[in-house]
Every structure is written in structure tokens, then in C-alpha cells.
Amino acid sequence: MIRDPQTLEALLDAVNRFVRERLVPAEAIVAETDEIPEDIVREMKELGLFGLTVPEEYGGLGVTMEEEVMVMLAMGQTSPCFRSLFGTTVGIGSQGILFDGTEAQRKKYLPRLATGELIASFALTEPDTGSDAASLRTTAIREGDHYIVNGTKRFITNAPHAGIFTLMARTNPQDKGAGGVSAFIVEADTPGITIGRKDRKMGQRGAHTADVIFENCKVPASQLIGGREGQGFKTAMKVLEKGRIHIAAICVGVAERMQRDALHYAMERNQFGQPIAEFQLVQAMLADSQAEIYAARCMVIDAARQRDAGRNVATEASCCKLFASEMCGRVADRAVQIFGGAGYVSDYGIERFYRDVRLFRLYEGTTQIQQIVIARNLVREAMR
């Protein structure tokens, strides 16, 4: 749903300009230094990017899912590390507070997230808990008006920058499954929290992940999301479901960028006396990528519209994440192929995208988890 086409157009114009004039020129330096320059971070805040999904009453832009998808398609036209900096704050780090938090929790945190003053991270994954999210071991044991948190969270995006963590921890150690898990808002400066060293990753330099270690960390009971124990796994699933549409949109945007770069290269690069774009075997690669990008774009917009209309889109969200992330990987591979030897050389930039997009098939639920979710939902639906 698009609330007001003119307002959205103004926002997209601003984002497109920011991407073109500020982010694209900074891609190489960010990849080299592994840091996003402070002035770019400030401009992201000024544009309202950190508050995209925070409702207007709490100081954000309150975009609908379809509008969010449009902004992510625009943000995808540059290195994905830029989106990552505000992605957890507009997505998995904040939406649990919005969906299931108490009014007091929303009022306390959402306005500061919307301005970018606070960065939110989502702390679910652990050293021994990835796809099987319900098996997490971090505990939060109630003692009076506090919970004592112990455990280690792994690969936590934006952990080194976070002001708050949306933390999933087991409040009922007797219940080893999803029902024993609760969600908390934990302020990053709470004593007992240590952030590990930044992970050295395959790609997405400029986006940082790290371990978050909780040792007898005393979290006030008022930080339990929604004030109810045992709801944390469901909160996480709801947040991830929406996040999957968001990530799928980024996959489409980045695929469009790689396709554009490949097309321009193919038109400039001459072999056998003509641009390689004239050769049908190169054209076949461009055509396959274009068809897949178009298909994924249509899927993502459709799923977003259905979600805005209030429909259950658990299956569609997983279809989008599955197809768009795999599509993006194929487009990256073809783009490198079209660049030929230059595709393997850092100066041309395309190998960086090839490495960056590999993450899309892994995080916020691997391709295999999306397959499981889709198939399970189909079977459940058919059994009704």
C-alpha cells in the first residue's frame, strides 16, 4: 500500500540522490577501511532512514511494507553494507518492540531508534543455535524484579554499534523448546555485557558483526517485551517474517545494480572486433538475469501488498527470500562471468558484490529454512 504517492516519490528521489552522489562514490573506501564515514552516517539519520518503519506517532516515517520495499530497492543500488547499518534498527532489532512491546516500551525506545540516536541489534543466534532457533541456550532467570542473563550470542549484526539488543533468552530452562523463550530489550551499557572482536567476514566490509557475551547481566523485569514470558520465539518469528521481505527487496536492488554494471561493461568491452554485448552467449546471460530480476521484483512487491492488506504472508515472505537471494547469487555469478578476467580483479568492483551478496542466502533464515517453512505451510494448509 502506498499512502501518498507524492510523499513516497519525494522520499525515493532523496534516497536515489543520496545513493548516487554519496554512497556509490564511497563504496571503494568503505571496502578498504571497513568503516562507513561519520558524515555519511549523519546524512542517513537526517534522511530519516533509521526511522523508516517506526510509526509517525513515535517520530518515524511509518512506511508501509510496500513503501519499505521501494526504499530497499533504491538502497540496493549500492554496497549492501550501507543498508546494514540502519537495517537492524528499522528491521529485526526494533520490530519486536513495535509488534509485541508494551506502550511504555514503545514510548521509551522507538523515538530514539527513529532518530538513529540508538542502534538496535537482534540477538538470537548462538554458537550452537542457528537454524534451530528454538534450541537457544542463553538463560534469563528471574530474581526479584530482575532477570539474570547468561550466554553468548554469535554473528550479531551491528553489535559493536548497538544501543539496545532485542535479546531472545530462555526464561524457563525446563521447557527446552520455543515455549521457554522470552524476548527482552537489553541496553548495551548494562554491566555484564561484553562485545567480542569484529568478525572477519567474506564480504560486506563496513557492516560489522560480533559476539555478544552476557555474564550475570542484570536486566530489569520491565525490559521483558510485552511483559509476558514464553512469547519470545513467536516475536522472533514475526520479526523475521517481515525481515524476509525486506531482505528480498535488497536482493532485487543489488541484482539490478550488478546487471547494470555488467551491461555497461559488455557494451564497452570489445572482442573479435565488436562489443561483447553483441554476442548471443553474453546476451543469454543478460537476458536470464533480467527475467529473474523481474520475477523477483514482482514477487516482492506482491508479498508486500498482501502483507499491507492484512493477509498472512508467512509462505510468500519465505518464497521471496528464497527466490530473490538465490536469484541474486546467480546474477552476481553471471555478472562476474561477463566481466571476464576483470570480474576477478578488485579494481572493477564486481567481485566485491559477488562476495557481498553471498550472505543473502544465509542470514535471516537460510535458503533451506525458507524451503522448510514453505513446504510445512503447504502441508498444514492442505491438511485443514
Query: Minimum distance between the CB of residue 98 and ligand COS, rounded to whole angstroms?
Result: 15
Distance between CA atoms of residues 304 and 144, nearest Å: 43
Buried/exposed 308-338: b ≥16 CB within 10 Å, e otherwise:
beeeebbbbbbbbbbbbbbbbbebbbbbbeb
Angle, alpha carbons 222-65-235 (nearest 5°): 30
Where would I find the H helices in the chain?
A: 5-18, 24-33, 38-47, 65-75, 80-90, 95-100, 103-114, 232-268, 280-308, 314-339, 350-356, 367-383
C-alpha dist (Å) from residue 344 to 29, 263, 348, 352, 358: 19, 17, 8, 9, 16
Nearer to ligand COS, 188 or 247 (CB): 247
The site for ligand COS (CB under 6 A) is made up of 122, 124-125, 131-134, 178, 233-234, 237-238, 240-241, 314, 363-365, 369, 372-373
Output the smallest distance, CB 366 to ligand COS, in A. 7
Closer residue to ligand COS, CB minimum distance, 134 or 296: 134
Closest contact distance (angstroms) between CB of 117 and ligand COS is 23
Q: Is 379 helix (H, G, I), strand (E, B) or coil?
A: helix
Least Å distance between CB 363 and ligand COS? Answer: 4
Catalytic residue among 66, 292, 351, 364: 364
**Coil vs helix vs strand at 274:** strand
Q: Which is nearer to ligand COS, 40 or 373 (CB)?
A: 373
For 129, 133, 175, 316, the CA distances from 234, given in Å and listed in that order, are 16, 11, 15, 18
Min dist. Cβ of residue 342 to ligand COS (A): 33
Q: Which residues pair with 187 in a beta bridge?
A: 164
Based on the residue annotation, tell me whether 364 is a catalytic residue of this protein.
yes
CB 77 within 8 A of CB 252: no
By beta-carbon proximity to ligand COS, the closer residue of 225 and 266 is 225
Nearer residue to ligand COS within complex by CB, 106 or 242: 242
Any idea which residues carry the catalytic annotation?
364
